[in-house]
Amino acid sequence: MASLLHDIQHHSVTIAAPLPLDSGQVLGSVTIAYQSYGALNPDKSNAVLICHALTGDQYVASDHPATGKPGWWARMVGPGKPIDTDRFHVICANVLGSCMGTSGPASPDAATGAPLGMAFPVITITDMVRAQAMLLDHLGISRLHAVVGGSMGGMQTLAWAATYPGRLASALVIASAARHSAQNIAFHEVGRQAIMADPDWQDGQYYGSARAPTKGLAVARMAAHITYLSEEGLTEKFGRRLQARDIKSFGFDADFQVESYLRHQGLAFTDRFDANAYLYITRAMDYFDLADPHDGRLAGAFAAAKDVRFTLVSFDTDWLYPTSESRRVVQALQSVGAAASFVELSAPFGHDSFLLDVPALDRLVAGSLLAGLA
Amino acid sequence: MKLRPDLAIIADAVPRASRVLDVGCGDGELMAALQSKGVDTRGLEIDPDNVTAAIARGQSVVQGDANRDLADYPDDAFDYAILSQTLQTTERPDRVVDELLRIAPRAFVSFPNFAHWRVRLALLWNGRMPVTRLLPVAWYETPNIHHVTVSDFRDLVRAKGIKVERVWHLSGDRPASDAAASWRAEHAIFLISR
Cβ–Cβ gap B52/A343 under 8 Å: yes
Q: What is the β-pairing status of strands B40-45 and A144-150?
A: unpaired
The CA distance from A72 to B19, in Å, is: 40
Cβ–Cβ gap A309/B60 under 8 Å: yes
Residue B24 · residue B51 · CB < 8 Å: no
A341 Cβ under 8 Å from any chain B Cβ: yes
Query: B134: pLDDT confidence band, cut at 50, 70 and 90?
Result: confident
The CA distance from A61 to A197, in Å, is: 35
The CA distance from B38 to B36, in Å, is: 6
Q: How much of chain A, in percent, has pLDDT values that exceed 90?
A: 95
Residue A256 · residue A240 · CB < 8 Å: yes
Residues near A65 by Cβ (< 8 Å), separated by ≥ 6? Answer: A8, A10, A59
Cβ–Cβ gap A309/B52 under 8 Å: no
- Cα distances from A23 to residues A134, A238, A297, B184, in angstroms, run 18, 44, 22, 71
Cβ–Cβ gap B74/A334 under 8 Å: yes
pLDDT at B172: 81
Please say if the pLDDT value at position B85 is more than 60.
yes
> What is the pLDDT of chain B when averaged over all its residues?
94
Q: How many helices (H) and strands (E) does chain A have?
A: 11, 12
Q: What is the mean pLDDT of residues B16-34?
A: 96
The neighbouring-strand residues paired with A13 are A32
pLDDT at B180: 87
What is the tens place of the pLDDT at every residue in B45-79? 999 999 999 999 999 999 999 999 999 999 999 99
For chain B, how many residues are written?
194
Chain A positions touching B35 (Cβ under 8 A) are: none
Closest-CA distance, A331 to chain B, in angstroms, reads 6
Please say if the pLDDT value at position A315 is more than 80.
yes
Of A348, A352, A354, A357, which Cα lies nearest the Cα of A233?
A348
pLDDT at B106: 98
DSSP 3-state helix, strand, coil percentages of chain A (rounded to 5)? 40, 15, 45
- Cα distances from A44 to residues A41, A140, A189, A200, B36, in angstroms, run 5, 8, 42, 47, 27
For chain A, how many residues are written?
374
Please say if the pLDDT value at position A3 is more than 80.
no
Candidate from A340, A346, A363 with C-beta closest to B48: A346
The neighbouring-strand residues paired with A149 are A51, A173
Identity of the amino acid at A102: T
- Cα distances from A146 to residues A62, A90, A166, A172, B47, in angstroms, run 20, 10, 12, 7, 26
The CA distance from A175 to A149, in Å, is: 9
Return the minimum-mean-pLDDT range out of A197-201, A227-231, B3-7, B39-43: B3-7
Residues near B92 by Cβ (< 8 Å), separated by ≥ 6? Answer: B67
Of B86, B110, B84, which Cα lies nearest the Cα of B188?
B110
Q: What is the mean pLDDT of residues A22-41?
A: 97
Residues 321-340 of A with CB under 8 A from B: 330-331, 334-335, 337, 339-340
Q: What distance lies between CA A156 and its chain's CA centroid?
A: 8
Task: Determine which one of A127, A286, A289, A318 is catalytic.
Answer: A318
A52 catalytic residue (yes or no)? no
Cβ–Cβ gap A343/B55 under 8 Å: yes
B52 Cβ under 8 Å from any chain A Cβ: yes
Helices A182-196 and A275-287, packing angle to 10 deg: 160
A360 Cβ under 8 Å from any chain B Cβ: yes
Please say if the pLDDT value at position B2 is more than 90.
no
Cβ–Cβ gap B63/A344 under 8 Å: yes
Candidate from B48, B61, B77 with C-beta closest to A345: B48
Q: How many CB pairs under 8 A join A and B?
A: 60
Residues near A231 by Cβ (< 8 Å), separated by ≥ 6? Answer: none
The CA distance from B135 to B74, in Å, is: 33
Task: Determine which one of A36, A230, A351, A352 is catalytic.
Answer: A351
ipTM of the complex: 0.90
Q: Count Cβ neighbours within 10 Å for each residue of A128-154 and write b for 16 or more, e otherwise.
A: bbbbbbbbbeebebeebbbbbbbbbbb
Chain A positions touching B72 (Cβ under 8 A) are: 330-331, 334-335
The CA distance from B176 to B185, in Å, is: 6
Cβ–Cβ gap B58/A372 under 8 Å: yes
The CA distance from A278 to A189, in Å, is: 11
Positive or negative: CA dihedral B173, B178, B184, B188: positive
The neighbouring-strand residues paired with A114 are none
The CA distance from A96 to A131, in Å, is: 7
What is the tens place of the pLDDT at every residue in A178-215? 999 999 999 999 999 999 999 999 999 999 899 999 99
Query: A1: pLDDT confidence band, cut at 50, 70 and 90?
Result: very low
State if pTM tops 0.90.
yes
> What is the pLDDT of chain A when averaged over all its residues?
96
DSSP conformation class of B15: P
A151 catalytic residue (yes or no)? yes
Residues near A347 by Cβ (< 8 Å), separated by ≥ 6? Answer: A315, A316, A317, A353, A356, A358, A361
pLDDT at A2: 46
Tell me how many degrees the CA angle A358-A363-A367 measures, rounded to the nearest 5.
150
Query: A7: pLDDT confidence band, cut at 50, 70 and 90?
Result: confident
Please say if the pLDDT value at position B22 is more than 70.
yes
The CA distance from B15 to B40, in Å, is: 11
Residue B105 · residue B194 · CB < 8 Å: yes
Q: How much of chain A, in percent, has pLDDT values that exceed 70?
A: 98
Residues near A141 by Cβ (< 8 Å), separated by ≥ 6? Answer: A40, A44, A47, A91
pLDDT at B179: 84
Please say if the pLDDT value at position B16 is more than 80.
yes
Chain A positions touching B51 (Cβ under 8 A) are: 341-343
pLDDT at A167: 98
Residue A101 · residue A10 · CB < 8 Å: yes
Candidate from A331, A342, A367 with C-beta closest to B63: A342
| SS3 track for A77-121 | EECCCCEECCCCEEEEECCCCCCCCCCCCCCECCCCCCECHHHCC
- Cα distances from A133 to residues A98, B27, B71, in angstroms, run 17, 36, 36
What is the tens place of the pLDDT at every residue in B155-175? 999 999 999 999 999 998 888
In order, the DSSP letters of B113-180 are -TTSHHHHHIIIII-S----SSS-S-TTT-S--S---HHHHHHHHHHHT-EEEEEEEEETTEE--STT
DSSP conformation class of B4: P
